[in-house]
Amino acid sequence: MQEDNYRHRGMRQNLVQVLKDKGISDVNVLNAIGIVPRHVFLESSFIEYAYQDRPFPIGSGQTISQPFTVAMQSQLLSVEKGMKVLEIGTGSGYQACVLAQMGAKVFTVERQRNLYNKTKPLLAEFPYHIKTFLGDGNKGLPMFKPFDRVIITAAAPEIPQDLVNQLRTGGIMVIPLNDETDAMKQKMLRLTKQEDGSLRREEFGECKFVPMLKDVAND
């Protein structure tokens, strides 16, 4: 893994301040962002970009989400220590590490084999509880249900019913759902599973993610 020195730590503290100024208030989220070295998830020549509040290409046509988006989704998820969290869209692995640093047991699924092959060994270098899977996240991980939380980090055309089924009663799903009127945009939703299996729905503004696709791809 690339080294993490005082200069990186300084840049991370600046990023934490930027996120606070943009309205992120959950101290557990801010602490985790202050600890997880985002630069190790980018190619070493892009270190200058690692602590700016921007998304960044990670290869295979995918991006590492903008830090604000990671912080926002983590905050909406209300993670508590020891919770089982299912993440769809491992990508670089950064979001998984932030959740794990917050104390979650993370189960993360990626559909692109290249990314999975690159990210799995990197995640294994951290002292976190993160299990990485290659598969279609629409189907979730039925063997490991129920989950306390589900986070989707790609733009979903609909709410995947398999994932709702794998969420415990009282559990929370955070999902960027495609806007019916504009396919290029999503609404960030927080869904809370009720006793009767229905979902309480709250909306948290617009966002922009790469699409959630079906099946495994070999690129």
Q: What is the spatial distance between Cα 92 and Cα 6, in angstroms, rounded to a whole number?
A: 23
Q: Considering the rule CB under 6 A, would residue 175 count as an interface residue with ligand SAH?
A: no
Q: Residue 210, interface with ligand SAH (CB under 6 A)?
A: yes
Tell me which of 65, 74, 78, 92 is the catalytic residue: 65
Query: Which range, of 2-10, 61-69, 178-186, 190-198, touches ligand SAH by CB under 6 A?
Result: 61-69
* Whether 65 is catalytic: yes
Q: Which stretch binds ligand SAH (CB under 6 A): 29-37, 77-85, 91-99, 120-128?
A: 91-99
Q: Per CB under 6 A, does 138 bind ligand SAH? A: yes
**Site membership for ligand SAH, residue 67 (CB under 6 A):** no
Instruction: Identify which range of 2-10, 26-34, 104-112, 175-183 contacts ligand SAH by CB under 6 A.
Output: 104-112
* Under 8 Å between Cβ of 42 and 56: yes
Count of alpha carbons within 13 angstroms of residue 211, beta-carbon side: 8
Binds ligand SAH by CB under 6 A, chosen from 63, 66, 78, 114:
63
In this structure, which long-range contacts are made by residues 11-19, counting pairs with CB atoms below 8 Å and at least 24 apart in sequence?
A: 11/50, 11/51, 12/37, 12/38, 12/51, 14/51, 15/51, 15/52, 15/53, 15/67, 18/53, 18/67, 19/53, 19/67, 19/68, 19/71
Contacts of 66 (CB under 8 A, 6+ apart): 53, 54, 55
> Which residues make up the interface to ligand SAH (CB under 6 A)?
62-65, 88-89, 91-92, 94-95, 109-112, 115, 136-138, 153-154, 210, 212-214
Q: What are the catalytic residues?
A: 65
